[in-house]
Amino acid sequence: MFSYRHSFHAGNHADVLKHAVLIAVLRHLTEKEAALTVVDTHAGAGLYRLDSDQAELSGEAADGIFRLLSDKNKPLAPVPSGDPTTKKIAEPLAPLLQDYVDLVAGFNPPKALRVYPGSPFVTHRLLRPHDRLKLFELHPTDSRALTANIGQLEAGRQVVVLREDGFEGLKKFLPPPSRRALVLCDPSYELKTDYGRVVVAMGDALKRFATGTYVVWYPLIARPEAHDLPKRLKTLATKAGKSWMNATITVKSGKLPAVTAESQKRPGLPASGMFVINPPFTLKGALQTALPQLVQLLGQDRNAAFTLDSGG
């Protein structure tokens, strides 16, 4: 079975990029009254305690969401590790980032950040009663946790949790009855085959439902499959005649620092990207303002940078 557990990474810089983009896309798609179906192919546990043993052990949120908090919503406790509030920017947060911070804060008491919402809860918060959410999670423990967390929402038939393979399961929901869909594909890439499966799944999804919005998160690590993935998705979208957008953020060098045994043990993810097929037309402008700020806030060394490409 997989060893990846998202609880070690909840609220890290990759989650900041992923969930901020997800919110921006959902805001746009829920402007139209017609029902929307959202499929989350790799849902995780749904909610994460930032003061859990796992989160505190990795302390990744300290270099992620915590760096975006201003004095106004600076948490009183607990702060996982490091000094999360040293990175300040003079100007207010870009609207896309403020929206993200506000949404996460909405799961927490005032001036505290104890709970981090994963993609199922981020999404659910923005859906209207007539929208639908399908959640795939294969890990037995996370799937149980997800079912229990979603149960608390008392969302009835609006939200369905499936302990099935998300790449395969996606097929049965496309095209959706409402003819409007957003798919988030966010694998752990623990298996090298995940990279290829993402491309196959997105290719198949586009054939089934060409007008859906498809959002893929991917890690930018020193592995050929990771660097090829956005290129392959770009080719896929271009061949299908669909528009696309690719946003990446690098927070530090990908090379292992030869400094301490600790940093050798847990080098952490240096960079990640979000590839969107059929992006809302509003997304590019929102990211043009948000990404430079994200680099300022999340950057850990002078390799910090962003890219934003689009086509179609």
Measured from the Cβ of residue 99, the count of other Cβ atoms closer than 10 Å reads: 18
State the alpha helices, DSSP H only, in 30-160: 53-58, 95-105, 119-126, 140-151
3-state secondary structure of 37: strand
Nearest alpha carbon to residue 249 among 1, 4, 9, 13:
13
Among 51, 56, 165, 225, binds ligand SAM (CB under 6 A): 165
Which one of the listed residues 15, 99, 131, 186 is annotated catalytic? Answer: 186
Q: Which is nearer to ligand SAM, 11 or 176 (CB)?
A: 11
Q: Calculate Rg over the CA atoms of the chain.
A: 18
Among 55, 79, 137, 215, binds ligand SAM (CB under 6 A): 137
- Residue 139 as a binder of ligand SAM (CB under 6 A): the answer is yes
- Residue 218 as a binder of ligand SAM (CB under 6 A): the answer is no
- Residue 167 as a binder of ligand SAM (CB under 6 A): the answer is yes
Asked whether 171 and 32 are in contact (CB, 8 A), the reply is no
Helix axes 95-105, 13-29, angle to 10 degrees: 100
Piece in contact with ligand SAM (CB under 6 A), picked from 71-79, 163-171, 206-214, 232-240: 163-171
- Residue 138 as a binder of ligand SAM (CB under 6 A): the answer is yes
Q: Which is nearer to ligand SAM, 4 or 107 (CB)?
A: 4
Instruction: Using alpha carbons only, give the angle 246, 43, 230 rounded to the nearest 5 degrees.
Output: 20
Q: Which is nearer to ligand SAM, 138 or 297 (CB)?
A: 138
- Residue 199 as a binder of ligand SAM (CB under 6 A): the answer is no
Q: Which helix (H) or strand (E) holds 295?
A: helix 283-298
Size of the site for ligand SAM (CB under 6 A): 21
DSSP letters spanning 235-260 = HHHHHTT--EEEEEEE-S-SSPPSS-
Asked whether 288 and 308 are in contact (CB, 8 A), the reply is yes
DSSP letters spanning 131-182 = -EEEEE--SHHHHHHHHHHHHTTT-GGGEEEE-S-HHHHGGGG-S-TTS-EE
**Residue least distant from ligand SAM (Cβ):** 118
Q: Which is nearer to ligand SAM, 160 or 210 (CB)?
A: 160
Site string for ligand SAM, 12-51 (x = CB under 6 A): ------x---------------------x-xxx-------
Q: Among this protein's residues, is 186 annotated catalytic? A: yes
Piece in contact with ligand SAM (CB under 6 A), picked from 2-10, 232-240, 257-265, 276-284: 2-10
Site string for ligand SAM, 63-102 (x = CB under 6 A): ----------------------------------------
Nearest alpha carbon to residue 43 among 153, 117, 127, 102:
117
Piece in contact with ligand SAM (CB under 6 A), picked from 131-139, 206-214, 227-235, 254-262: 131-139
| Cβ 160 to ligand SAM shortest distance, Å | 14
Among 66, 136, 209, 306, binds ligand SAM (CB under 6 A): 136
Piece in contact with ligand SAM (CB under 6 A), picked from 161-169, 225-233, 247-255, 300-308: 161-169
Question: Residue 296 to residues 14, 91, 110, 270: CA-CA distances in angstroms?
Answer: 15, 11, 26, 15
User: CA 104 to CA 98: how far, in whole Å?
Assistant: 10
- Residue 166 as a binder of ligand SAM (CB under 6 A): the answer is yes
Asked whether 311 and 250 are in contact (CB, 8 A), the reply is no
Binding site for ligand SAM (CB under 6 A): 2, 4, 6, 18, 40, 42-44, 118-119, 136-139, 142, 165-167, 186-188
Catalytic residues: 186
